[in-house]
Amino acid sequence: MIRKASFPPVTDTRTRVLICGSLPGERSLAARQYYAHPQNQFWRLIAAVIDRADLPALPYEARLAALLEARIGLWDAVASATRAGSSDAAIANAQANDLGTLAASLPELAAIAFNGATAHRLGLRQLGAHASRWIILALPSSSPLHTIGLPAKLPAWHALRPFLA
């Protein structure tokens, strides 16, 4: 089975919220873009959080720039793993990203939000005792495999707003 690798972090020194997924899915890996699957709700959810209705329609680099402008960073809990398909349940032989070191390097970081249960479980394990340095938020997954609708997910995602001010 082919080993799949995550992307580099998207952060800068102004990042206040770091959103961590687990490992990019097949469509994202093929496109070399975070949350590239057209049914993934990430860009619509984050557009509502930062009041940028145009965000999902922007070119990828412009979306990333808008996130950084809103003081939001992106990364993944898993650096690499073997996995058939895109399901988090199929992740095997995972190697962790050094989430603690990245988080500690962001001087304005206030919160780490995990996009889905797998990212939350793996990310907390990586942060260990250092997790108490930040507010930790467990968000409902934006994945199309997590079938509750966008309206049901929005309240949890709106919890990011206070950290962005």
Per-residue confidence at 2, pLDDT binned at 50, 70, 90? confident
Please give the model's pTM, rounded to 2 decimal places.
0.95
Predicted confidence (pLDDT) per residue in 21-73, tens digit: 999 998 999 999 999 999 999 999 999 999 999 999 999 999 999 999 999 99
Q: Count helices and strands (H / E) in the chain.
A: 6, 7
Domains defined for the chain, CATH in brackets: 3-163 (3.40.470.10)
Residues with Cβ within 8 Å of 97's Cβ and at least 6 positions away in sequence, in order, are 6, 9, 75, 76, 77, 78, 79, 126
Select from 68, 63, 18 the least CA-distant residue to 40: 63
* Residue at token pair 């873009």: 33
40, 93, 97, 115: which one is catalytic? Answer: 40
pLDDT digits (tens, 9 = 90+) for 87-123: 777 778 889 999 999 999 999 999 999 999 999 999 9
Q: Is 40 a catalytic residue?
A: yes
